[in-house]
Amino acid sequence: MTQAGILLIIDYNLSRVADVAHMVAYARERHEMRTLLVRANPGAHDLSICDEVIDLDPTRADFVDLALTQLAPRRDALRGGIVFSDNAVHSGALLLERLGLRVDNAMLALGAFSKHAYRLAERHHHALLDAQHVFAPDCVSITSVAELKTFADAHPDGFVVKPSCEGNNRGVIVVRAGDDLRAVFDEVAPYLAGGVICEQMIPYRREYSYDGIGTLSFVTEKVSATGRYPVEVAQVLPARLTSVEQHTLERAGQLCNMLVGQRDGPFHNEIKLSDEGMHAAVVEPNRRPGGMKIWSLAEAVYGIDLYALWVDSVLGASSASILPAPKRQAATVMLGVPHDGIFSPASLGDGILLFEQVLTATSAQHNLRPGQLHPGEFGWLSHDARIVHAVAHDNADFVAQATIILDTVDAEGHGDTRNADIRDIVATLRDRWLTMLSAHHVPVLEIAA
């Protein structure tokens, strides 16, 4: 299908630059379309990827009106729009509605931007959620230590404090009885301008995400750290689930989509599951692809390019509604450091080569056949020297991110009896990485006391 015109992309996080470049290339090659990007403070990389760039912050109160004015000369050429960041999920949807382009409901999209707005929507529909065994935690907005203490008194078994509008696990703190509430409040104080919430602890241990686009969906298993900072250390696909557990997560994920107005676009709903698999609770909704390369994992496992489907969908093309059977297992792994300090990858040489050495050692430890475990993508999260913590406070405390792929059939296409569980491989890989850093005397300098 050939369609002349412009594809509008509204904002993205810099960690997604490769995904944006992929969609731009697909729109150009498949649909012969130009691309126009709207984001705040665009850089040279934006100009190198897209045909046109408009400098405009989607969090501005007057974003829609300003965008309409600047887009007016190109309005007749706009054929479709993609909203690719949490900051733009609400304002970007409002803009696309005003432009008359395909987009999921803009009014309800606020719940996919503000965690507090989503909890208020759950509270409004609590009877519906209760009937479907979806637990909705108590949640309040706070602006002072006194309000924090009031919530703590009401929830002596513990609770979570986090920014209302912030991603990547930044600012998320688990509070237990006896914790210093003044210290907790000081830690989240930088987020007060955008809102800070206290949230009842969800009484379920296991966490997954309900991912997909339109009616096409899959479930990803999340591996998170325990303790004060519950950051994500890995994403695994496909998730290990019984049919009952699968149904419970799908039901919760679909209800979540309804509350935030998703119908045709992408979604990444983070959900916790009870031990018996009959109850679930939404951690947070997202009307965008999941981070940590989840859609890349899906392409490795199912053989479908979801980014291409996203472009097709906003241009009115129909897409698949059922995924094929998984071909392999895949995971995204966050890699850290052995101790607190100032880390710089500059003296390490080729990081990809080092990672492949770690992967080879991991494969041997699990007695995998040659070539059964292979790398997907590897990248340093920053090339600058910076302070990182061995116990990660958020995703910024990791130094690298990698994806790995595990074949589940042998060369003849039969099931491989030596096939290991990729979750065990992830744990080994992260340990081997730390051992490699220590063995290579990586420049992680101790912070002076």
How many alpha carbons lie under 13 Å from residue 259 in its C-beta half-sphere? 31
Cβ pair 329, 393 in contact under 8 A: no
Residue 146 has pLDDT above 50, yes or no: yes
Please give the share of the chain, as a percent, with pLDDT higher than 90.
76
* Residue 449: predicted pLDDT: 41
Give the span between the Cα atoms of 292 and 167, in whole angstroms: 12
pLDDT-based confidence at 2, cuts 50/70/90? very low
C-beta of residue 323 within 8 angstroms of C-beta of residue 246:
no
8 Å CB contact between 200 and 137: yes
Q: Does domain 6-103 have CATH number 3.20.20.70?
A: no
* pTM: predicted TM-score of the whole model, two decimal places: 0.90
Q: In angstroms, rounded to a whole number, what is the distance separating the alpha carbons of residues 165 and 31?
A: 35
Q: Are 104 and 90 in contact (CB under 8 A)?
A: no
366-416 residue pLDDT tens:
999 999 999 999 999 888 888 888 888 888 889 999 999 999 865 555 555
Query: CATH class for domain 203-326?
Result: alpha beta
Mean pLDDT within 319-341: 88
Write the DSSP string, 315-357.
TT----SSPPPP-EEEEEEEE--SSSEEE-GGGG--HHHHHHH
Whether pLDDT at 24 is above 50: yes
Residue 169's pLDDT is what?
A: 62
Would the CATH topology of 6-103 be identical to that of 203-326? no
CA–chain centroid gap for 178, Å, is 32
Model confidence at 245: pLDDT above 50:
yes
pLDDT of residue 209: 97
107-127 per-position pLDDT tens digit = 999 999 999 999 999 999 999
Q: Which of 37-41, 154-158, 299-303, 316-320 has the lowest average pLDDT?
A: 316-320
For residue 423, CA distances in Å to 222, 273, 352 come to: 10, 18, 21
Asked whether the predicted pLDDT for residue 435 surpasses 50, the reply is yes
Cα Rg, the chain, nearest whole Å: 22
Q: Which fold has domain 138-200?
A: Dna Ligase; domain 1 (3.30.1490)
- What is the pLDDT at residue 415? 55
What is the predicted pLDDT for the residue at 446?
53
Mean pLDDT of 177-186: 93
**Residue 73 pLDDT exceeds 50:** yes
Render pLDDT for 234-243 as a digit per residue (tens, 0 to 9): 999 999 999 9
Q: How confident is the model at residue 1 (pLDDT cuts 50, 70, 90)?
A: very low
Going by pLDDT thresholds of 50, 70 and 90, the confidence category of residue 344 is confident
Condensed to tens digits (0 to 9), the pLDDT of residues 276-304 reads 999 999 999 999 999 999 999 999 999 99
Q: Where are the domains of the chain?
A: 6-103, 138-200, 203-326, 328-449
Q: Is the pLDDT of residue 347 over 80?
A: no
pLDDT at 139: 96
CA of residue 202 relative to chain centroid, distance = 20
Position 75: which residue type? R
Q: Which amino acid is at 139?
A: C
